Amino acid sequence: MSKHHIVIGDGLTAAEFATTKICNAGDTLSIIGPNINNLGRGVAYAQAPDNAAWKYAYLLNSPARSVDLAFSDWLNSDWISIEQSMVNRTPDWLLAAQPYVAIGEIASLNAPRELYGDFYHLQTIEKLALLEKSNVRVRRISAMVRDISVNAQQLKVHLDDGSTLAADSIDVATGGPQNQRIAGDNDERSFPELFGHETHIANALDANGTIIAIGASAAMLDLLRFCQSLQAESNLNFTAISPTGRTLEALRPGNTFTPATYELQDTYKRAEDFIDAIKHLQQQALNSGHNFYETRVGLRSLFLDKSVNEFVPNIKEARKVARPLFRHFEGGTRDSIDDFHRLEKLSRTNIIAGHVHKIEQTKAGASVHYTNETGELKQLKANVVVNCAGPGKENRFDALTTKMLEQQWISVCQQSHGLLVGDKGQTSIPGIRYLGPAVTSIGVTAQPVPLYDAFRLRRAVQQFNSR
């Protein structure tokens, strides 16, 4: 008997659910998302308009080899055309890439995220075409899902146009957590995030305009590259305000790629003891000549075939590992971080340690109210302010994920504050699965860090869909 499977979402995770789902001839696979014609891109790998100054400006946080080995091979094989498409773009990605290109280390480049979107979208379309050749009916539906209902064990998906689709099974992959909100961050000169607001920000930021980024996350580095694409470096006036007053550490491959290896056999009663052991092994690797990037790759390798539970048997303690381990190993794009510090020496960028309370609109722009390191209340004015604070602990999600949390189909982990799903992504409703970057525990298996990187998200989906 034929079955109908629905995938909700149009980003990388949704595409992986769709292309690795085991379907039989006669089955129907429906993929639903607002940007379904760019399936696989989502927000992370979105396609900018051809005439946008910031096209190809945003870079992958990690070197290409850590995102997808097939992608780094694609970059290498298609390098001539990629190089041509990046000529005369600002900021000058080709100049930053040159030291690695000269030694044949294209896999070490932080490639434009849109290029990865090109690669993965094409790969997705090709895989769906193979499904269609095997007599699976593939439907791409451009819509938003308003709700999912369960009646008499029948699953129904309700679309924003009022129509309803019945399904035998559903995968929900609607993306990651949204930015934590700051009072006043959505006005004429202040913006709740960068992505999706680029045109409005560009219109508000003139050639000599000043800009404040709230937060020092990867989004702050994206905002810097956005400004570099619009303004001459001599006109940049860019300030970031974050609690630490520091940028992320650069993920900087050496001339040769030699990942660190962590030999760890012991078990630990407390999450803190396990994290200390990992930090000790990392320091040993650094002392032996590995760089920070290689120690991070070593950490991921450690957990390819092992779970946190093997080292921390108590599940509640194991679930405490994800956030602090993620913060300790969190890194950013080499090109952008290098540019930030180079421009800092020229007094074009600046980073301030402070806690932001609110944003107020002024005649010429906006004023950020914050408390500095010594507890003093301060104000800083700019033409434009953009919230780059990241999700924090608020766990703000899209409307569908929020409903699933309210209905207790999925839940928030009390230890990590990330999301909990069942084995192979199952929710509490049979036939409905969920996965997204905020997931920190799958079944009784604690994740070492939240599923923010593309490699681990895709791998998790592939494991869900394996027989």
pLDDT at 151: 87
The fold of 190-248+332-387 is: FAD/NAD(P)-binding domain (3.50.50)
Tokens in use for 425? 């992504």
> How far is it, in rounded angstroms, from Cα 252 to Cα 293?
6
β-strand pairing of 211-214 with 190-191: unpaired
Low-confidence residues in the chain, pLDDT < 50: none
What is the dihedral sign for C-alpha 309, 311, 316, 319?
negative
Nearest Cα residue to 31 out of 118, 106, 121, 139? 139
The domain locations on the chain are 4-58+112-177+395-465, 190-248+332-387, 271-329
pLDDT of residue 265: 87
Task: Give, in words, the CATH class of 4-58+112-177+395-465.
Answer: alpha beta
Identical fold at 4-58+112-177+395-465 and 190-248+332-387? yes
Model pLDDT for residues 36-59, shown as the tens digit of each residue: 999 999 999 999 999 999 999 999
> pLDDT digit string (tens) for 388-437?
999 987 789 999 999 999 999 999 999 999 999 999 999 999 999 999 99
Secondary structure of the chain in HEC code, one letter for each residue: CCCEEEEECCCHHHHHHHHHCCCCCCCEEEEEECCHHHCCCCCCCCCCCCCCCCCCCCECCCCHHHHCHHHHHHHHHCHHHHHHHHCCCCCCHHHHHHHHHCCCCHHHCCCEHHHHHHHHHHHHHHHHHHHHHCCCEEEEEECCEEEEEEECCEEEEEECCCCEEEECEEEECCCCCCCCCCECCCCCCEECCCCCCHHHHHHHCCCCCCEEEECCCHHHHHHHHHHHHHCCHHHCCEEEEECCCCCCEECCCCCCCCCCCCCCCCCCCCHHHHHHHHHHHHHHHHHCCCCHHHHHHHHHHHCCCCCHHHHCCCHHHHCCCHHHHHHHHCEECHHHHHHHHHHHHCCCEEEEEEEEEEEEECCCCEEEEEEECCCCEEEEEECEEEECCCCCCCCCCCHHHHHHHHCCCCEECCCCCCEEECHHHECCCCCEEECCCCEEEECCEECCCCCCCHHHHHHHHHHHHCC
Sheet of 169-172: strand order equals: 137-142, 28-33, 4-8, 169-172, 432-434
pLDDT at 364: 85
Cα separations in angstroms, 319 against 159, 212, 312, 389, 446? 35, 35, 9, 24, 5
